[in-house]
Every structure is written in structure tokens, then in C-alpha cells.
Amino acid sequence: MRRFRKAEVTGSNPVSGSIQVNALRELEVSHAEFGPGCAERKLRCLARLARAKLGSARELERAHELALFLRAYPDSPAVLAAASVLLEGFERRGDLRRFAAQLADSGIAGTATRYRFFLPTAARLARAHPAALEVDWDEWDPAQHARLDALLPLLARPLECPALDAGLEGREFLAHARARGEAQGAFLARRFAELDAAPEVRAQLWDELDPPLRLDPCPGAPTRTTAVARGRRPVYQREPLSRTRPDLRRAARVPPLAVRRVRGAAARALVELAQDAMAARARDLDAFMHADARDVRLIDCGGGLGFAMFGVQPEQRLPLESVHAFLTLHNGVPIGYVLASVFLGSAEVAYNVFETWRGAEAAHVYGRVLGMLHALYGADSFEIDPYQLGHENEEGIASGAWWFYQKLGFRPDERGVRALLRRELARLRKHKGARSSPATLRALAREPLYFFLGREREDVLGRFPLERLAQASMRALAEQGGQPGCARRALARLGLRAPPARSAQERRAFERWAPLLCALPGLERWSPAERRAAALCACRKGAQDELEYVRTLQGARSLRRALCALARVRSSV
């Protein structure tokens, strides 16, 4: 995209208060309208807002969100240029500096973000922005100060320990021991990351401390304002947005236009974009936090819609399910995310649309999500976890998430929820315009929802009792005297001298799977090909591309039946 001079979309004279308010209101009305004359209206409004001095934090935030929406959904090159110029210069606005404190935690460039980041994210931010990651001492309670004091002997170097013996407390230690120019939050995260302990131990100690941090504005800091995947040719929105609910059965059978692997610097840039998109919104999700830059794909669904897909680092993967994170992109702008956990051809889906784009094309995009997951994994059943529906999640209750999925065709399993649904549907039909109360939504959201492309089955996430496989593995570990004994026993049952691993990561994956292989019923009676398929599946859990594991498990029919038998679930194969 060619560069545009600021003079093309801004003028030199500030806009008066009444005109700027009118421009903001007009853009609020027209920003999601597309067709003849719409682009011209938006351009006029963007030009006025670019040179306006807005009079409140609310007006400034709204102007930011409207420009952000239009960067993702532009009607024309001129609208895209105007929205981009407004956003790229947002941090330099005088009114932004005036209201920056009120806009803290908004993710807008030039504002601070306060959050209790997990250790991998805090350490990443500390490396990238050592002078900007501070400890938010105002949010600490006495118990946290006491926990920090108790951890100091672990965090201090040997020559620093006499100072602790002399009574130096945690806050003073951070102030005195940090490097010149290093903020206290960055120092704290760095010392935790340097602890001589397993990553899981370091993360657990950090989580127990749970330190409130503050990322101050600085060049390159995570922000919603300028986040965009570069190098994509823009697609302009000429037609009205698709607001109708799709036929999910049909939509789920439409594959993406293209899926391509991304490697090297481009893959690392996409991982950083996704991690920054979460940090700017004060979110920390494991699948993004532990995204593997060696396992990145770009998925093109057409019309400007795409997904950046991330595998999880092998050492951070779940033992049975496969989890991938997807950053939803429209014209390269992050507009939401998807988390997919997959097992035996079923997928548990967490779907989130960032607030700026809610109400735009949420249902249409969701249809493309299911089409993508069906094509990638062969998934034919989909489950929504209660948290996504609003269970212990007031954001889900406020958004009416339960009805969003119910109207798309998802249905509850549990008898009491089914009965409540029938009563609520009858009430809503009787009283036109009525809405479900928060109490009703909470009662509905206490159990999962399901959608099946084919026949309904039991061996799906949400119904499959994974804890029974865990219990069987625990018994095997006890009987075989630990992991090495399980690995030897598993190889003997498989008739192998060594696991068919291609790397150290795959050998470790086989060892983690070994207790389960020890517990599988009748393994010795399988054919050599079936036993080799089970061994390959265990190894591929550590493959660089975790889709290899998904596809290997899908094809290992004897293994799938044995897993179901061990869990006492009827197999569908």
C-alpha cells in the first residue's frame, strides 16, 4: 500500500467543538454502513476527527475505536489511508496526552496497561521494554509483600544475601538491585526467569506471588492502535456486512481458500502480533503465551478474513488434546481470537470477538471458524465450555453468549438445562421483546453446548471422561515404579526396542505417553501395524507440527477404541 502524506487527510486548522462532536456522531452512525456515498461520508468525518481536539476521554476513545473498525473494514483506499493516518498519529495527539491517565488499560497507544501478567509474558515484556515494565505497588496487598520478602533468598545473588540478613525488604531490594535504567517490574520478571529451577516451578512461584505490574508507554509497546499484519493486499468492503446467521452445517463444510506455512522472521512477527494483541487487552492465554514460531500457518478465508494459526511449544502441550490458537484477522487487523482443543475428531471451541467489532459479522465469522476446524482436524462435533457461555464469566452473561450459540444450532445435554430452555423459549414467544434475565442465563450456562455435523456420539470432548485415562496412568506409574519403568514396559508391550522417534522432543513425548500405553487393554494382541500406529501417535505428540499427532490419532482406529474402552465410553469407530 502506498504511503500517504498527512496533508492528504488532515488540515492545519483545528475543528471547533460542535463540528467535532457532530463528526463523531455521524461516524458512529455510518461506520458499519457500506454502499454508495458511504465512503465519502466517512472520509469527511475522519478528516475532521484527525485535526480535532476532543473534549473528553470518552470521545477520544470512541474516535479511536471507529478508526480502528474502518482500518479492518475500509470501503476504499482513501478510507483505509485516512483511518491508518489517524491511528498512526494517535499517540502524538495533544488530547491523548491530556486524557492518557483516564484511558489507562484501554490498549490505546500512549497509555499504560496494568495487569498481573503470567511469567512468560512478563519476562518477554521485560526483555523488550526493560525501562517500561514497572511494579504497580499501589495494587499490592500486605500478603503479597510478605510473599515477596519470603522469596528474596531465592531471587538474590550470593553477594546480595548479607543485605537481606541486615533486614532489606522486597521493595527496597528491587529498588537497589536492579540495573541502571531497568524498571522494577522488569527486574523482578528477569530474576524469576533466571531462577535455577524447572520452568513449571518458576511459573508456580510467580503465580503464587501474582504481582501487579504496569507497562508504561514506550516505543514498540503492545497497543491496539497500530497492530496489523503487514504485507497483505487490502480487500475493500463494497457490500453491507453479513449480519445473518449462517447455516452451520453448510458453513462447516466450506474449507478455507488457502492454508500456508509461515516460517522465519514472518512467523516470529505473527507470534509477536498475537502476543501483543493479548497483552494490550490485559489478557494472558497459554496457547498464545507459549506459541511456537516454528509451527505457524496463515489461513485465508476470503473477503479480507483470515486467521494466523499457532501451535504450542512441545513441552507445554496437553498430553492428550491438541490445542491451537488462532488470531482472527480482517485486512491484517486483529479483530478476535479462537482457541481450539481437539481430541478424537471433536473440538472444544473458544471464540472471542474483540469489542470494537462485536455486532459486525460475528455469526458469519463463526461459520468460517467451523469450516476451518473441520478442514484442519476433520472435526465433526463441536463443544462450547460453560465458561464461554457465561458460567463464572459475567462478560459472557452481558453479551448473551448462550443465545448466540443456541440460535446457531448448539444444544445442551443436561436434562435440567433442556427443561429450562423449553420454559424460557415458551416465555419469550409469549412475551414479544422480552429478554432472559442474568439469573436465567447463569442457570443455562452451567453445562456445555454441543453441535454435531454427523450423528451424535459419546467420544467427544465435554462427554469423554479424560480423568479416567489420568487415573489409569497413575496406577501404571505406581505399578512400574515411575516413568522409566513405564517406558520399558510400553516398549515391551509394543514389541519394540526403541520408540519410532525422530527427535529428542518425540522421545520425551513417548515417555510421557508410556503410562497410558501400559494401561491400554489388550495391546499385545494388536497386529504389528496397529501397535506401530500407537507408538507413532505417542511420538508425534512431540512433533514440531502438532497436526501430525492429530492426524495420526485419527487414523489409529485400534488405539481410539482402546482409549474409549479404558474410559468406559462407547467408541464411534
pLDDT at 12: 40
Q: Rounded to the nearest 5 degrees, what angle is found at the Cα of 192, between the Cα atoms of 191 and 193?
A: 90
And the C-alpha cell for 477?
A: 506409574
User: Who's near 242: CB < 8 A, 6+ residues apart?
Assistant: 361, 364
Across 356-463, the runs of DSSP E, i.e. the strands, are 381-384, 411-412, 449-452
Q: What are phi and psi of 506, to 5 degrees?
A: -70, -35
Residue 469 contacts residue 566 (beta carbons within 8 Å): yes
- Report, in angstroms and rounded to the nearest whole number, the Rg of the chain calculated over CA atoms: 26
> What are the C-alpha distances in Å from 201 to residues 193, 195, 206, 207, 213?
10, 9, 9, 10, 21
What secondary structure letter does DSSP report for 244? Answer: S
Contact predicate 114/136, CB 8 Å: yes
As given in the structure block, the three cell numbers for residue 123 are: 519476562
Question: How many angstroms separate the CA atoms of 173 and 161, rounded?
Answer: 10
Residue 14's pLDDT band, with cuts at 50, 70 and 90, is: low
Distance CA 202, CA 118 (A): 11
Contacts of 464 (CB under 8 A, 6+ apart): 343, 344, 346, 458, 564, 567, 569
What would the pLDDT profile of 244-287 be if each residue is shown by its tens digit?
A: 999 999 999 999 999 999 999 999 999 999 999 999 999 999 99
pLDDT at 88 over 90: yes
The model's pLDDT over 385-423, given as tens digits with 9 standing for 90+, comes to 999 999 999 999 999 999 999 999 999 999 999 999 999
Residue 362: pLDDT band (50, 70, 90) is very high
Closest by alpha carbon to 556, among 509, 523, 519? 523
Is the pLDDT at 334 greater than 90, yes or no?
Answer: yes
pLDDT at 22: 87
pLDDT digits (tens, 9 = 90+) for 204-248: 999 999 999 999 999 999 999 999 998 889 999 999 999 899 999
**Distance separating alpha carbons of residues 284 and 275, to the nearest angstrom:** 8
Grid cell 505417542 in the structure block, residue: 538
Is the pLDDT at 139 greater than 60? The verdict is: yes
What would the pLDDT profile of 373-384 be if each residue is shown by its tens digit? 999 999 999 999
Q: In the prediction, which pLDDT does 15 show? A: 53
Q: What percent of the chain has pLDDT over 70?
A: 96
Q: What is the pLDDT of residues 152-193, one digit of tens each?
A: 999 999 999 999 999 999 999 999 999 999 999 999 999 999
Place of cell 473477503: 303
